[in-house]
Amino acid sequence: MFTEFHKSSKATGGGDWHPGSWLNSLTHGILKGNWNFDSLWNSLTHGSSKENRKLGRHRSADNYTPHLRNNGAAVFEYNFLMSLNEKDYPYYLSQAYLVKTGQKLNLRRPKSLNEKIQWLKIYDNKPIKIALTDKVLVRDWVKEKIGDEYLKPVLWIGDKFDDIPFDAMPFSFVVKCNHGCKWQFIVKNKQEFLSNKDVFNSSKMYMDNWLKQSFFGWSDFETQYLNINPKIIIESLLVENLSEEPEEIEVWCFNGKAKIIQKCTNVYKNNKFSHRQISSFDENFNHFNIKFYSNNEIIQTEPDEILKEAKDLSETLAKGFKLVRVDWMIYKHKLYFAEMTFTPHSGFIFFNENHNELQIKLGNMLNLKGD
């Protein structure tokens, strides 16, 4: 396949799984729970008269369409979410949290990691996060803090798909939007891509539509995606083999300090994604077995110098932020910056084992009153 859409690999800067795909197992579990669906639906579509007076309008199914889906898609429709006043974010975020987790959200005294990430969405949305979520502007930050040798080569930046100079592009490359998650496609063979009009036209259609939208409207209140000026950025595809993906490193920094360091490898069978192999460490590089998804395979490898380098560099980039996951990829034994993720998994994290225990343990690591 010479063109691929929505890849999550750090080779493409794809970042987190979008809520429309990664929460499948979590939402399926909610659907099998014991809470009352009719009561939840009623609260979503109508609410109490007291709440209606507080919000200054009557909430009805005509105003928005919530979804309880097996695929974990965003709870509210795009247009409704984009039309909301900022003061209403806490209420509707709480409704989304209830749909996706089956639990009430405590924004006043958040304890779990998921709750604290929801708090960060609403109450820690400082402008610098918007700039560093922008895949173009973040490059200046990285260059200033750690040097441009960690940046992936950029081939072109522009405003329109029609302006892309494809004749000047190499054999393979990545075309992405700067203002979203997984809004991108990989060109593995330029000549085949350009000669196949169906694929070329569908790629243009996707990109044109992405450029007209804000990813905030699909993200369940990830406010750092608001007000990013949409651009197209084309990067080199940093893979040694087009049928493989490079290793990735994810460094979770709590109040500026790396607490979880993970090395990730995507495993393919018969040219299809099978699962991820994950080797996790704590801040002292002791093995810290933490499993996000059922198809993750926990392996134990020894920490190497490149892992330690990623930790040090991530702490430099994370200074001054309460929570950020700094993502990297490894290409030819060298680190390349992928992105800074301020609300990992949009705060809907499901640990495959010991979920409640890990939620509280990691939540205790995060001080919302500090940097």
Angle of CA points 249, 241, 18, to nearest 5°: 45
Residue ranges in 190-302 assigned as alpha helix (H): 190-195, 197-211
| Structure confidence at residue 33 (pLDDT) | 35
Q: Residue 138, Cβ neighbours under 10 Å: how many?
A: 18
Q: Is the pLDDT of residue 56 over 90?
A: no
More confident residue, 352 or 114: 114
Confidence of residue 294 (pLDDT cuts 50, 70, 90): low
What's the distance, CA 294 to chain centroid?
Answer: 19
Task: Look at strands 232-236 and 173-177 and give their pairing.
Answer: antiparallel
Q: Look at residues 6, 30, 348 and name the one whose alpha carbon lies nearest to residue 203.
A: 6
Q: Which residues pair with 185 in a beta bridge?
A: 5, 175
Q: Look at residues 319, 352, 363, 313 and name the one whose alpha carbon lies nearest to residue 334.
A: 313
For residues 345, 281, 291, 363, the Cα torsion angle rounded to the nearest 10 degrees is -50
Q: Which residues, at least 6 apart from 327, have a Cβ–Cβ distance to it below 8 Å?
A: 10, 15, 248, 249, 250, 251, 337, 338, 339, 340, 341
**What pTM did the predictor assign?**
0.81
| Structure confidence at residue 97 (pLDDT) | 94
The identity of residue 130, as a single letter, is I
The domains located in the chain, with CATH, are 242-365 (3.30.470)
pLDDT in tens, 326-346: 999 999 999 999 999 999 999
pLDDT in tens, 189-231: 999 999 999 999 999 999 999 999 999 999 889 999 999 999 9
Report d(CA 343, CA 323) in Å as an integer.
8
User: What are the phi and psi torsion angles at 132 (to 5°)?
Assistant: -85, -10
Rg, C-alpha atoms of the chain: 21
Question: Strand (E) positions, 237-322?
Answer: 248-254, 257-269, 272-281, 296-298
Confidence of residue 54 (pLDDT cuts 50, 70, 90): very low
DSSP state letter for 250: E
Give the H/E segment covering residue 359.
Answer: helix 355-365
Report d(CA 157, CA 155) in Å as an integer.
7
